[in-house]
Amino acid sequence: MSERKPYPSDLSDEQWALIEPVITAWKAAHPSVSGHEGNHAMREIVNAIRYQGRTGVQWTYLPHDLPPKSATYYYFAKWRNDGTDQVIHDLLRWYLRESKGRKADPSLVVLDTQSVHAAAGVPATTTGKDVAKKVPGRKRGLAVDTFGLVIAAVVLAASAHENTAGTALLDRLAARTDGTVMKALADQGFKNTVIAHGAALGIDVEIVERNRTGKGFVPQPTRWIVEQTYGTLMLHRRLVRDYEHLPATSESRVYWAMTDVMSRRLIRAPAPSWRST
């Protein structure tokens, strides 16, 4: 890695050690046809991805002492398309859960969605308007465990019904956790369609009712953790709006952001406050 002044988003040695085996194995499995090793260290490519996710800059605004857009986007897109970003994310999630004395995959998850504005230039064909929340853009759906760790993510047009997001999340949960998820908590935006779809997959979906008194905000036990996860993700400015042309890229941003969060927790590094973001 070239000598330069580090950015706050840079991987520490301990964080790099967590993901380096996956990156090294990927690199070995994808040799250049010409045999060229490339001009940029893989650690610096990851640092550039993390810098962009944390600061929200456009590809062409990456600092000159980080790898350029051409190299950074090449690997970002490759890892998005072949699932390497999710492999890294899931390995860290398994390590973190097991470090807390839990099994690698959870039996209980919480489902929720968040609608965010889309930036100018995002294709209209993949966006819409969430009428209830009056938000034009995209809808993120998350399934998280009781630690707030992301188990599955899906990105749709904001106009998509909660049922669409809910069934998509349940399908991904079933595919990615090998049937370990037995119960899912969801808010009242999800309807009977999600309950029935969960039942067909062997997942008991429970709709958690809101505060019946209607007086102020009352956190719902266990279900509130997904709101905390959304708040944590907002520290990564690339996620404050949806800037991505492809929904798959938006999903990849979620996995990279959570990889940052989990790697910090695994090495017990202090999380940066919102004042420093």
The answer to the question of residue 239 being in a domain is yes
Same domain, 17 and 138: no
Based on the fold, state whether residues 18 and 78 are members of the same structural domain. yes
Q: Does 115 share its domain with 207?
A: yes
- Residues 133 and 67 occupy one common structural domain: no
The identity of residue 263, as a single letter, is: S
Domain co-membership, 111 together with 151: yes
What type of residue is 103? K
Query: Using 50, 70 and 90 to split pLDDT, how confident is the model at 273?
Result: low
Mean pLDDT of 238-265: 97
Q: Assess if residue 167 is contained within a domain.
A: yes
- 77 plus 114 within the same structural domain: no
Which residue range(s) make up the domain with 28? 13-82
pTM equals 0.92
Same domain, 132 and 228: yes
Which among 198, 199, 221, 226 has a CA at the least distance from the CA of 210? Answer: 221
Shared domain for 38 and 161, answered yes or no, is no
Residue 4 lies in a domain: no
Q: Is the pLDDT of residue 215 over 70?
A: no
Strands (E), the chain: 108-117, 128-130, 135-144, 150-157, 183-186, 204-207
Q: What is the CATH number of the domain that holds 147?
A: 3.30.420.10
- Decide if 265 is inside a domain: no
- Alpha carbon dihedral 216, 129, 172, 93, in 10-degree steps, equals -60
Domains identified in the chain, total number: 2
Give the tokens for residue 83. Answer: 């699932």
Q: Cα 141 vs. chain centroid, distance in angstroms?
A: 10
Nearest to 258 by CA among 224, 231, 221, 223: 231
Same domain, 152 and 112: yes
3-state SS string for 42-104: HHHHHHHHHHHHHHCCCHHHCCCCCCCHHHHHHHHHHHHHHCHHHHHHHHHHHHHHHHCCCCC
Assigned domain for 41 exists: yes
Q: What is the pLDDT of residues 146-183, one digit of tens each?
A: 999 999 999 999 999 999 999 999 999 999 998 899 99
Q: Is residue 264 part of a domain?
A: no
Q: Are residues 67 and 139 both part of a single domain?
A: no
Contacts of 107 by beta carbon, 8 Å cutoff, 6+ apart? 180, 181, 182, 183
Residue pLDDT, tens place only, 53-102: 999 999 999 999 999 999 999 999 999 999 999 999 999 999 999 999 99
Assign residue 56 a region (left: φ > 0; alpha: ψ between -120 and 50; beta: otherwise): left
Whether residues 127 and 223 share a domain: the answer is: yes
Cβ pair 11, 43 in contact under 8 A: yes
Whether the per-residue pLDDT at 275 is higher than 80: the answer is: no
